[in-house]
Amino acid sequence: MHLPTKVTIKEVGPRDGLQNESKFIETQDKVDWINLLSKTGLDYIEVSSFVHPKWIPQLADSEQVLKSINREKGVTYAALVPNIRGLERALTCNVNEVSVFMSASEDHNKSNINKTIDETFPVLKEVVDEALKANVKVRGYVSTVIACPYDGPVSPEQVLKVVDRLAEMGVYEISLGDTIGVGVPTQVESLLSTLLKHFPSNLFAMHFHDTRGTALANVVKSLEMGITTFDSSTGGLGGCPYAKGASGNVSTEDLLYMLSAMNIETGVNQEALIESAFFIEEKIGKKLVSKQMEIARNERSANVDNARTV
Ligand code: HMG
Ligand code: MG
């Protein structure tokens, strides 16, 4: 198996993770968490989104978050923007990079951003043009690349049509989202085989939700096909409130464990990452699902038991 030796992990927990929590996390807690993440060696953190606050009230404090975090040298602090209003808001907070987003399937696009696919392209083009004029890089997301919660299976050709248009607009990278976490490696292979006939592998990042436990298998298939950028979320937080049945992203700690054990370099420190996961777990007030957190919990309680017996 030919694998890359280096991979970039893009942490999306503060955005994808917190947008899906029913509890509003206090602004200062978000800021403290992002500050901890900034010390883990991650060089990309998607910190919030500038969508309509009525649609995602959990992230209504994006301005305050962006303005309050400590910026570590070499870390990109990014945010999601759906339209020009979102971009204007993001630019007032000195965002380093923005992401535009849309779906490969009509009904998820409509339910998520209230427009048809065709109506979305000019809205995003305006964002890309204005962001680039302001010297802010733009990443693109395509959701529902394997299946849509409303329309069912999505073909690679349908994804290609949307990818084509986003690439033409000038986004530097396109993150392909298995939004509801249904995909398996054979489907990832079929999707990437189609896209890689037209575009280089470094145009793509993969964004796997782990609803059915297939995310890491999908990462391995993507690595084999030359992909070197992956989105993930500390603690396995995440999900799209406008995609029925979506659950968390692949956890950053679990992804990191696997990549490190495969001798793939990421520059991220596992212990620091797990500390940041415990921090946000406490603020959210419910147990997070990552395997590495579970192992750390067990080790901690074993150490406490050992200390009691000596
Ligand atoms: P709309 O209601 O169609 O907006 O919502 P509109 O353009 O008709 O404007 C209506 C009003 O909203 C106007 O105010 C605008 O100014 C205001 P009025 O003139 O009536 O006073 N408005 C805004 N205010 C603040 N910030 C803005 C903004 N835009 C308009 N940005 C809209 C359209 C796109 C705004 C809405 O549908 C929305 O916010 N959707 C976001 C949903 C969302 O965040 N979903 C989750 C993120 S995507 C995801 O999780 C998937 C991903 O992780 C990848 C994967 O897993 O697949 C990325
Ligand atoms: Mg997502």
Ligand 1 site, CB within 6 A: 16, 19, 49-52, 55-56, 80, 82-83, 85-86, 89, 101, 112-114, 141, 143, 177, 179, 207, 209, 240, 242
Which range, of 47-56, 123-132, 255-264, 295-304, averages the lowest pLDDT?
295-304
Q: What is the mean pLDDT of residues 45-57?
A: 98
Catalytic residues: 240
Residues 310, 302: Cα–Cα separation, whole Å: 13
pLDDT digits 0-9 by tens, 255-287:
999 999 999 999 999 999 999 999 999 999 999
Please report the pLDDT score of residue 179 as a whole number. 97
Distance CA 69, CA 54 (A): 24
- Can you tell me the mean pLDDT for 78-84? 98
Q: Which residue's CA is the nearest one to ligand 1's atom 33? A: 113
pTM value is: 0.97
Residue 302 confidence class, pLDDT cut points 50, 70, 90:
confident
Model pLDDT, residue 301: 81
Phi-psi group of 245: left, alpha or beta (phi > 0 → left; psi -120 to 50 → alpha; rest → beta) = left
Closest CA to 233 of 35, 25, 37: 37
- Average pLDDT over all residues of the chain: 96
DSSP type of residue 16: I
Q: How confident is the model at residue 153 (pLDDT cuts 50, 70, 90)?
A: very high
Closest Cα partner for 20 from 216, 246, 227? Answer: 246
Residue-level pLDDT at 245: 78
Please identify, by atom number, the ligand 1 atom nearest to the C-alpha of residue 177: 57
Would residue 267 be called left, alpha or beta, if left means φ above 0 and alpha means ψ between -120 and 50 degrees?
left
* Rounded Cα gap, residues 249 and 218, in angstroms: 12
297 alpha carbon – ligand 2 mean position (Å): 27
Centre of ligand 2 to C-alpha 207, Å, is 7
- pLDDT given for residue 34 in this prediction: 98
**Confidence bin at 310 (pLDDT 50/70/90):** low
Residue bearing tokens 């404090």 = 61
The bound ligand whose nearest atom lies closest to the alpha carbon of 205 is 1
Ligand number nearest CA of 162 is 1
Ligand 1 midpoint to CA 55 (Å): 7
Backbone phi and psi for residue 262, each to the nearest 5 degrees, phi listed first: -95, 10
Give the three-class secondary structure for 116: coil
* Nearest-angstrom CA–CA distance, 146 and 176: 9
Which residues fall inside 5 Å of ion ligand 2, going by CB? 16
- Angstrom CA distances, 251 to 19, 79, 231, stand at 16, 19, 9
The model's confidence at residue 84, banded by pLDDT at 50, 70 and 90, is: very high
CA distance 162 to 114: 17
Task: Give the H/E segment covering residue 206.
Answer: strand 204-208
> What pLDDT was estimated at residue 2?
87
Paired tokens of 13: 């927990």
Q: What percent of the chain has pLDDT over 70?
A: 100
How do strand 152-153 and strand 147-148 relate by DSSP bridges? antiparallel
What pLDDT is recorded for position 80? Answer: 98
Going by pLDDT thresholds of 50, 70 and 90, the confidence category of residue 307 is confident
Alpha-carbon distance of 130 to 121, in angstroms, equals 14
Cα of 307 from ligand 1 centre, angstroms = 53
Coil, helix or strand at residue 72: coil
| Nearest ligand 1 atom to alpha carbon 82 | 34
Map residue 15 onto helix, strand or coil.
helix
CATH 1.10.3720.10 fits 8-309, yes or no: no
